[in-house]
Amino acid sequence: MNQDYTETRLDNGLVIGLQRTPTKTIAGRLRVKYGSLHERPQEGLAHFLEHCIVVGGTRKYSPEEVDKKLQLFINWNASTDFHKTEFPVHMLSEYLEDYLDLFSDIAFYPRLESRIVEEERQRLLREISQGKSSTSFKDNKIFYIAILGNNEHTYSGLRNEELVQNFTLEDLRLLHNKGYFVNNMDLILVGDLPDNIESLIAKYFSDKPTGEVKSLELPILGPLEERTILHVPFKEGYNQDKPEESMARINIGWRVPDGFSDYARDLMVLANILGRDMHSRLMTELSRRRGLGYGINSVYMGGIKKGVGVFEIGTSIPSLRANEAIEVIFDQLELLHREEVSSEEVERVKRTLKGNYVSEQESNQGHVGVIERIIDYGLTPEIELEKMDKVTSKGIFEVANHYVPSRNGNYVLINRDPLKD
């Protein structure tokens, strides 16, 4: 990591990651380690809270004043995932103190008034309604429930209209009071930072409230114990003029170790060998040799939650050849059990992934992502590259035999075939 990176902590527990770069801008990210997995069983409440606290005004600023201040920045956002809520921003360096002032107030002292809550409720309901009509919404919800179960929470981050309708102002205040503590946050700043940056941060964050966050008690998920095959309606893929050209969508997934495990890099490389570019095995077999389209992807998701990751293969394929595509996918998975992948394949993918790590550090926003992994996992770019260098054909062979299912194994297969509706 660049020697200009520093990590420190205020006396109240706020973790601070700082990186100076020779630019005229700053990328910042305030992260609250409180996300959708903390809201159970009120699915969607954390996302609703995120909406309300950004636009609803603060102890010091009206909603109109907040909106005006947000316009000082090049861009900003707010998002909620399984484990955290975060507020990223990109700004000219001259507006750094405006950012610290505004977002320290937004995070700790939102107004959460009835009028704003109702306005955001309607906005979120429209968002849900639009999402529910999309194929990706349906795909994700079905897939995550099938893979991870439906114990109290779908793990999908998706929202329930009925629950959102019934959320109260008190629900939002209670959730905010349970997790928005300064010792449950970190602040990352990268770019043209002033010499007094640490004192500026202390000015706006040293007096913020601390508290104890109840640890999550989530079910421990081991390997899947059964094979699940679902046929799901998919009218969007039907071609009325030429039914024979209708398109199906196929997703196959299974549980694997998470991103903390010793096998994470092997799984990452394996995902890329299978289906990430024109040279990958599935792309070569399905597209270049059989002419079955170009939409094939293989991905390892190691950050679902601590203890479990997900390996997923997805493709869009002509409906009349959907079964053929499924057979080809499992042929390729079972080949991994019999033969080691070539060293040439491994080295090609490693070069790509290592190049991504290096190029990520060429922008302030990329540096923020690097620092997130340092804070969360202790993974500096040097450690990342070292771990990647240790991936071998033999290691991938062992991982594949332990974690990649055969066609008779345990996995989730979702087939959205419009010709079978």
Query: Whole-model pTM?
Result: 0.86
Q: Which of 28, 81, 71 is nearest to 50 (CA)?
A: 81
Is the per-residue pLDDT at 146 higher than 90?
no
- The two beta strands, 247-256 and 79-80, are unpaired
d(C-alpha 126, C-alpha 137), whole Å: 14
- Take residue 46 and report the two structure tokens written for it: 């954390």
Q: Which domains are present in the chain?
A: 6-205 (3.30.830.10), 228-420 (3.30.830.10)
Output the CA–CA distances (angstroms, integers) from residue 96 to 67, 191, 311, in the order listed: 17, 10, 40
Pairing of strands 308-318, 296-305: antiparallel
- State residue 157's pLDDT score: 47
Q: For residue 137, what pLDDT is reported? A: 60
Question: Which uninterrupted H or E stretch holds 29?
Answer: strand 25-32
Q: State whether residue 360 is helix, strand or coil.
A: helix
pLDDT by residue (tens digit) across 216-260? 776 667 788 889 998 887 777 767 778 777 888 899 999 999 888
Residue 45 — pLDDT band, cuts 50, 70, 90?
confident
In this structure, the number of other CB atoms found within 10 A of the CB of residue 48 comes to 24
Q: Is the pLDDT of residue 313 over 50?
A: yes
Give me the residues paired with residue 316 across strands.
249
DSSP string, 166-197: H--HHHHHHHHHHH--GGGEEEEEEES--TTH
Q: Which residue has the higher pLDDT, 359 or 77?
A: 77
